[in-house]
Amino acid sequence: MINLSQQLRLGLKLTPQQVQYLKLLQLPTLSLEQRIKLELELNPMLELNEEQELSLDQEDRNDEPESKTEESVEEPQPKDDYTLEDYMHDDLSGFKSPEATKQNDDDDTYESPQQSTIPLSERLLSQLKMFLSNDEEILLGEEILGNVDEDGYLRRDIALIVQDLNLSYGLSIAVEKAEGVLQKILVLDPPGIAARNLQECLIAQLHAGKYPSSLKELGIRILKDFFEDFKLKRFDNLERNLNIGRETLKKIIELIQHLNPKPGEGEFTAQENYITPDFIVEKDNGDFIITLNDRNIPTLRINSAYKQLVAPKGKKVSAETKDFVKKKFEAAKWFIASIHQRRETLMKVMKIIVERQREWFQEGESLKPMIYKDISEVVGVDISTISRVVNSKYVQTEFGVHPLRFFFTSGLESDNGEDISNQVVKQRVRDIIATEPPQDPLNDDKIADILKQEGIRIARRTVAKYREQLGLPIARMRRKV
């Protein structure tokens, strides 16, 4: 039996243009460059507008649209009356395509070439070959070093490494032989590399280092036989088991603490460890100049080669071809408008962040509590839009390069009724721990009491959470000899 019914539903549906805009909005600068290159390959209607960059830069600086625009930034809205010819003018008297402005070539800063460096694994292998006698040992050394992680530790079972080599090359290598190669690797430079745990790493460094023999032997004995007492800072047990005094123990502990727990750390090259900021904030006579770092974003326009396909007096083409060109033209128009709208949204959000956190940008400290909602209410967009703007974006300031998320913090209420950023409270926790008595460190309850005396209302569990976020251990683990 067929029934007819009527339903009323309330829903929200995003158009393909809105989805495209939101995706572009959350891309950082480097990802946007790649996205534009991909769009240039997919859409034949788009092309680079290289000859207009210098002139457009001068006009855009005069217009300064980022400081005067007041329109909504929730969705790009290109005008409906744009025609194909509007996007194809080669002179400045016609329509100017709305993409990101370019900086003058004279403003480009010189970047010196980076020195080529040899990877750590290659340096270790060249050292290791001096101590190995046959091809099997070299093969073992290469495989072990290939399984070392970025901290310098061998996280894979050496028996599995031997098993893989035997199966792959039809060999019959014994695990004991692999252990011998590993022991040779442990004393290479840097010593302790390819260790399977912290204990083995520190022992290898003591064996390889040139230290006083008496302290060296006691240190190795502590790490081999009393590692748990050392790790948990049971100093009384160590003194009793080793039959040594407090001063001798203090020298041994200091020796061990100066060893490197991560021998593979710090091996990134300048290229691998480089962050490209999306914004640059500079001080100028008490004010701030906000620049969107988009000098490498190419300027786009509609490809003029397709003009004759749709021109009234142009070459006759099939309806299918005209339909294809029309669709690609609409897609290109929306893509250019989305890039322009992305730029306006980013500039508006960054301007509000600088205004709200003005004290930090002036002095490099004292962040104010600020959440996404505070920015979204001012800009007039949804909170999710602010989240997309902040996502994976960085800003270069006088006080270093910081992610935009750094400026968004929750707050704690003080006795005088003012909100204090949790970043300020975290820094205060760090300062309190830095000045605590080394033999009697403060627990979380005592730190919370100190903060309450300073007018900051905070619970013990909140102190514990902030301490863990700062990477600081509990009181017992901070105790020193």
* Among 28, 35, 3, residue whose Cα is nearest residue 403: 28
Residue given tokens 């996404």 in the structure block = 372
- Same domain membership, residue 354 and residue 414: no
Q: Specify the 3-state DSSP secondary structure of 283.
A: strand
Helical spans, DSSP H, in 303-398: 307-310, 319-356, 358-363, 372-379, 383-390
Extended strands (E) in 257-406: 279-284, 287-292, 300-302, 394-397, 400-403
pLDDT tens digits along 242-262: 999 989 999 999 999 999 999
| Higher per-residue pLDDT: 42 or 422 | 42
Same domain flag for 414 and 353: no
pLDDT of residue 95: 36
Q: Residues 354, 414: one domain? A: no
pLDDT at 279: 93
pLDDT tens, position by position, 119-146:
788 888 889 888 887 889 999 999 999 9
Question: According to the model, what pLDDT value does residue 101 have?
Answer: 42
pLDDT > 60? residue 211: yes
Among the candidates 331, 358, 385, a domain finishes at 358
Determine the pLDDT at residue 96.
Answer: 39
Residue 336 in domain: yes
pLDDT at 457: 84
Q: Are 481 and 246 in contact (CB under 8 A)?
A: yes
How are beta strands 411-413 and 394-397 bridged, if at all?
unpaired
Q: What residues are paired with 48 via a beta bridge?
A: 300
Domain that holds residue 472: 410-478
Residues 20 and 99 occupy one common structural domain: yes
- Same domain for 95 and 20: yes
Q: Is residue 131 domain-resident?
A: no
Mean pLDDT within 458-464: 89
- Tell me the per-residue pLDDT of 434-444, one tens digit each, with 9 for 90 and over: 998 888 888 99
Whether 279 maps to a domain, the answer reads no
- Tell me the CATH number at 416: 1.10.10.60
The answer to whether position 289 is within a domain reads yes
Q: How confident is the model at residue 54 (pLDDT cuts 50, 70, 90)?
A: very low
Q: What percent of the chain has pLDDT over 70?
A: 80
Q: What's the distance, CA 152 to chain centroid?
A: 22
Residue among 352, 355, 356 at smallest CA distance from 368: 356
Question: Looking at the domain assignment, is residue 309 inside a domain?
Answer: yes
More confident residue, 75 or 371: 371
Contacts of residue 60, Cβ cutoff 8 Å, sequence gap at least 6 = 101
Mean pLDDT of the region 50-65: 49
In a domain, residue 48? The reply is: yes
Among 358, 384, 401, the domain boundary falls at 358
Note the pLDDT of residue 78. 47
Residue 468 half-sphere exposure toward CB, CA atoms < 13 A = 6
DSSP character for 297?
A: S
Local confidence band at 308 (pLDDT 50, 70, 90 cut-offs): low
**pLDDT for residue 20:** 85
Q: What pLDDT is attached to residue 68?
A: 36
**C-alpha to C-alpha distances, 439 to 78, 219, 450, nearest whole angstrom:** 68, 21, 19
Would you say residue 58 lies in a domain? yes
Counting the structural domains of the chain, the total is 2
Residue 72 has pLDDT above 80, yes or no: no
Q: What average pLDDT does the structure give for the chain?
A: 81
**Is residue 373 in a domain?**
no
Q: How far is CA 281 from CA 65, 113, 340, 374, 406, in A?
A: 18, 25, 20, 21, 15
- Name residue 397's beta-bridge partners: 400
